[in-house]
Structure formats: C-alpha cells, structure tokens
Structure 1
Amino acid sequence: MRRRPSGEDMQNHQDAADPTAARMRALLVRAPLAVAFVGAGRFEVVSEHFNHLFGHGDDTDLSGTDQRGALVSDSSHQALQARMGAAFGGGRPLDEEVEFVRRDGSRFWGRLQATPVHWEQPAGEAMWVVEDVTAARTQRMQPTWSAKHDEVTELSNRREIERRLADHVGSRRHEPVSVLFIDIDKFSDVVQGMGAEVADHFLYGLGQMLVTKVRASDVVARLENDHFVVLLPDCDQHYAQIVAEKLRSAIAGYRLRWGLHRTRVKASLGVVQLQPTLDTVDAVLGAGQLACTEAKAAGGDSVRVFVSSGSYEELAGA
C-alpha cells in the first residue's frame, strides 16, 4: 500500500524543485531577524523571530493575518500606511520607530525598516524588518541623554566632546592625546541632490561606521552639519595619522544605499596632538579645523597634520 505524501513530503519536493524558495524558507526560520513580507494589508510570510517578537509561538502565526492587529489603533495603522506610501512613492524606504502591540496586548516600540520588494511596484509587496528599541528609546528620552547626544547621528554632540576634551587640555598626566577633525567634501551636493532626509540617513550611517573604525575608548562626535570630531586619548601624533588615514579610506569606500538613492563621498581630515601652546578647547578644535581646511584646499580626500601655528604636514593626497 502506497503511503500518502505528508505536508512535509510535499514541502521537501517543492524545495527540491525551487532551491531559491528553500533558501528563503531556511533564512526566515533560522535568521535572528524579525522579517516579514507584507502585501494587500496582510502579513504574507513572517520569520520565526518576527512571530516571537509579536508574542506568537509554535501554535500561532502572524502569517495571513491583518497588519492592523500589530498596530495600537486604527488611526496609527492608517497614518503608517500613508507615510509608507509617501516614502515608497518618493523612492525611499520607511525607517522610523513605531509603537506595536503584541498578541497579549502589551506594547513595545520597534524600529520599522520597510522596503518594496520591487521598486517599480511601490504599492505592491513589501519587506518589513522590525527591531525592538523600547529600551534604547527610553534611554534617549532621558534629559541626560539628549543633552549629550546629537539627534541625527546619536553620537556625542558638541557640548559633550568639548567637555571630554576639557578633561585633557592642560592635563599633567603626560599621556599623549590627539584629535581628528573631519569635514565631508562637497556634502552640500548630497543635500541638494537628494534632500535633507536622505542626507540625515547618510550622516547617521556614516557616524555609526566611524565608531566601528576606532577604539572603544575613543569618542566620535558630530559638531554640526557634516563636521565630525574624534577624540583619541593615549594616542600620539604618529598613531593619530594612521587612524586618520584609516578613516579617510573608510569614508571614501562608504556607500549610501537608501531606496533608489545611491551616493558616495570623500572627506578632508585634520590631525592635531594636544600641546602646551593649545591651552583651551577652542584652540585645539581650531587647530584641527585649520589643518582640515588645508586638506580641503589641497583638493580634499586627504589628511593634514597641525604641527605648530601656521604649519602643516601632508599625510595623504587625493
């Protein structure tokens, strides 16, 4: 007597016939990401992690259910759909924090990154990636956090980097301390060509990339606009030059991919080691900016080192 094929047998047969579908199914089950494919107002396919994030388990599944059930209200759902439609229609993903509701009624804040599966069909199927950011959002809402961090990049802001730098200016601890001043070349072209929203996403990604290129003890800050500063404790001029060149190269290799938008930039960097003649925070930052200005005047995509008042040393050129 022939055994009737089970659902698992049929699934294995389909996977053998369509390896791409099999890989996608394995990814959705095993990847530690909350991913869902949505269309026509419903969750079509969701990952295991997505189910768990929304309070579902082995016996329940969001697949096939209405998206509205994951939002806290009808108005919240309608507003999200409107914002998503506007973003997709403009060739941009949606990337924002949304208040969601779990199966048991509890709420959490999630960072929703939504993108059309096919950009030529922005109203068609989309992919959602959701990350629980409740704890991070709570921290950001604290006055002490907002006073020290830049809203766009979430890096240290000018006030905080000046406070950190002040701890080293005039110090008698005899450990070398250096500062890098970074100015993105022709960043105004990015803003003009892509708009402020895309430019802000670029600055955020660029700032997070810079953090990965330095030590945990270093401080990366955004002063304003496209100007960044990196504080390098226990780092002399020689090693600061090496770090500066590493960052210059990393920035030149960084790519912004935001929906249909693509761009790349380069940067000018100034290096300055703290010295007795630079006896204030403003003097140190000014020296770094002067060296950076010299790098920009040389054509950009280069590093200059502040040696003494009015003197520079070339490290790398375009």
Structure 2
Amino acid sequence: MQAQTGSSPAADDIAKAEDAIPTRMHALLERAPMSIAFTRDQHFQVVSEHLNHLFGHGDHTDLSGQPTRVVHVSDGAHSALMERLQASFAAGRPVDEEIEYVRADGGRFWGRLQATPVRWDAPAGEAMWIIEDVTAARQLRMQPTWIGKHDPLTELANRAEFERRLAEHVGSRRHEPVSVLWLDVDKFREVVNATGAEVAEHFLYHLSQMLITKVRASDIVARLEDDRFAILLPDCDQHYAQIIAEKMRASVAGFRLRWGLHRTRVKACLGVVQLHPSLENVDAVMGAAAQACAEAKAAGGDTVRVFVSTAVMEV
C-alpha cells in the first residue's frame, strides 16, 4: 500500500496565510494614513508612502535603504537619539518624544517620534518608528497664552484655567444646571513605585486623553495636580453628572497602559457636585467636590459619591 504524500488542508491554509503577510504589509505601508518606518543598524529598511511624503520624497526618491542620519539636523542630534533609543529599548521602554527633523529640500519641521523594537526579546534588532508632524501643535504650545492655561504633561486645562471657567458659572443668574466632577486615581503612588516616574507620566498622559473622549466638546477636563482631575459640566444636573461619573469610573477601571514591557491598571474615585447658591464661590464648589471624592475614597475606592448641600436638604 502506497503511503499518501502531500500536506493537509490545515497546513495549506497556514502556508497561504503566511504567503499573504508580505502582500498585506506592502498594502498597509502604501495605503495606511500613517508615517511608519522599520529601521535596523541606523538604516531605514522599509518605509511607508506617507513617511516618504512627510520627508519630501516621492516617486523618484525613497528613504528605504538610506541611513537614518539623513532626516536629522546634525550628527550630534542623530547620535544622541541613537543612544536614547538603545538605553530605552534595553530597559523595556519605548521612545516617545518630539524631534526636529529635516526634509529632502532642507526644510525643517518638528515630529513626534514613537519608536519601539519589533521584538522586545531582541531590543538591538529591528525597530518600528512612527512619526507625526507636530510643528503647528508645538508652536501653539509655545505661546504664552497656551502655557498659562494648560498642564504641560497632559496638555489638559490647568487648575487656574479650570477655576477661571468655573467662576463664570458660580453665582450666575442663568438657570441652566452646572456640575463639577473631582476624579482622584486610587493608589497611584503604587504605580509610580512599581514602574518609575517616566512610565507613570505616560500613564497620566494617556489616561487624560481617554477622559477627554468621555465628555462633550463643551465640557472642560483639567489636571489639578498629581493624579487629580476635575471636569466641568455645563448644562448638566446632578443626576446626569452622576451617570457621567459612573461611566468615567468604569472607563478608568477598564483602562490599560501598555508601555513597552510595562503593564499597569488603576481605579479611581469621583466626587459629584451640582452648583447651588449655598456654594458661594469657586473654593466652596471645589471643596464640595473634593469632599465627595474623599468620601468615595473612605468607602474603599473605585466608587462615586455625590455632595448634597445641607442648604438643599433643609429646603
């Protein structure tokens, strides 16, 4: 009896899937609206069409195969970046920073570089770079008016700007309800101790960007200090503010930070307060929100508490 030869249908499917990977990768690099490059030994190996265009290359020129030095403003700047990449990758951390780059025609721009090894078990091998033109955003952040109103780490409104916006509503004769949320991350000091200050700062940045997605364009999200945030909700009464707070609490609990080899998650407490005539000034409103949040902390964390004014209870 002659033995059967040839591969099984399952093996054929696996082989077809593997053969399709290069085709899919080529399509991704050509069509995805992202500037991506794969580098090795200080050379660009494969470059997306968008990255080529970002650096002023087109149909007749290509960064693929060229030294990574050609997009940097000087030998020193390039060498310093290579040292930072090597140190960060060896420590299990990606690189995320803004760098001044040079285009093919000599023009310069500021780009946000997000770089990570393709394989964390081989940090000195191939790396993936994602570059975004942040020139306009950087120029905006350099304006004194922006600096005075924003937190430099998270780019959210700072406490002074939040309180200024809140003051526009305190004592207002307008009849629309206004609420404030106070958010305090639970046990954030443990995250700092476990992962280090750099990873913790990245966590706060990405957490803040997530919080923005949970509110309306008319709402204000601010970083007050450390791991404490506040949210101003115009035209929002206590009932709906509590619903928003519960959604934010659940979103924080479900949020995961993946930063290189580091993984972390946290929970948060929120205090809710609706503006009322008994809260006569900004300090009173902020104090009420903080008090409600403290009560949530005392209840064990990962919860929401609502401040109820004694003046309201007596009515």
Same fold (TM over 0.5): yes
Give the distance between the partners of 2:17 and 2:183, measured in 1 at CA. 52
Shift in alpha-carbon separation, 1:61–1:261, aligned structure 2, 3 A? same
RMSD, aligned α-carbons: 1.6
TM-score normalised by L of structure 1: 0.92
Question: 3-state DSSP class of the match of 1:243?
Answer: helix
Percent sequence identity is 69
Instruction: Write out per-residue CA displacement over residues 56-107 of structure 1, whole angstroms, 9 at most, x where no aligned residue.
Output: 0011100000000000000000010111111111110000000000000000
**Letter of the aligned partner of 2:25 in structure 1?**
M
How far did residue 174 of structure 1 move?
A: 1.2
How far off is 1:309 after superposition?
4.4
Distance 1:156 1:26 in 2: 40
Q: TM-score, normalised by structure 2?
A: 0.93
Q: How far apart are residue 16 of structure 1 and its match?
A: 8.4
Q: How far apart, CA to CA, are the structure 2 residues paired with 1:311 and 1:72?
A: 63
Q: Secondary structure at the match of 1:307?
A: coil
Letter in 2 for 1:188: R
Which residue is 1:255 aligned to? 256
- Which residue of 2 is the match for residue 305 of structure 1? 306
Paired with 1:17 and 1:222, the residues of 2 have a C-alpha distance of 47
Where does 1:134-153 land on structure 2 (aligned, <5 Å)? Answer: 134-153=135-154
Alpha carbons 1:184, 1:227 under 8 Å: kept: yes
Moved over 3 A (4+): 14-17, 309-312
CA displacement, residues 103-144 of structure 1 (integer Å, 9 cap, x when unaligned):
000000000000000111111110000000000000000110
| Cross-structure match for 1:216 | 217
> Is 2:205 the counterpart of 1:204?
yes
Distance 2:177 2:210 in 1: 25
* Paired residues for 1:40-79 under 5 Å: 40-79=41-80
8 Å Cα contact 1:179/1:271 also seen in 2? yes
Report the AA paired with residue 295 of structure 2: E
Q: What SS class does the counterpart of residue 112 from structure 2 fall into?
A: strand
Q: Is the 8 A contact 2:98 2:111 kept in 1?
A: yes
Tell me the distance in 1 between the aligned counterparts of 2:33 and 2:260: 23
CA, structure 1 residues 48+270, in 2 after alignment: closer, same or farther (shift >3 Å)?
Answer: same
1:45 Cα deviation from its structure 2 partner:
0.1
Q: Using the alignment, how far apart are the partners of 1:74 and 1:275 within structure 2? A: 61
Residues 15 and 21 in structure 1, CA contact (< 8 A), matched pair in contact too: no
Verify: 1:118 aligned to 2:119, yes or no: yes
Answering whether residue 86 of structure 2 is matched by residue 104 of structure 1, we say no
User: Could you give the per-residue CA deviations for residues 257-314 of structure 1, whole angstroms, max 9, x where no partner exists?
Assistant: 00000011000000000001111111101000000000011111100000124999xx
The answer for the alignment partner of 1:157 in structure 2 is 158
> Which residue of structure 2 aligns with residue 9 of structure 1?
none
Aligned with 2:173: secondary structure? coil
Report the CA distance shift for 1:287/1:17 in structure 2 as closer, same or farther (over 3 A): closer
Aligned residue in 1 for 2:133 = 132
Q: Matches of residues 26-41 of structure 1 in structure 2 within 5 Å?
A: 26-41=27-42
* Contact 2:278-2:311 within 8 A present in 1 as well: no
Q: What residue number does 2:245 align with?
A: 244
SS in 2 for 1:85: helix
Q: What 5-or-longer segments of structure 1 have no aligned partner? A: 1-13, 313-318
- Is structure 2 residue 184 aligned with structure 1 residue 183? yes
Question: Is the contact between residue 98 and residue 112 of structure 1 (CA under 8 Å) also seen in structure 2?
Answer: yes
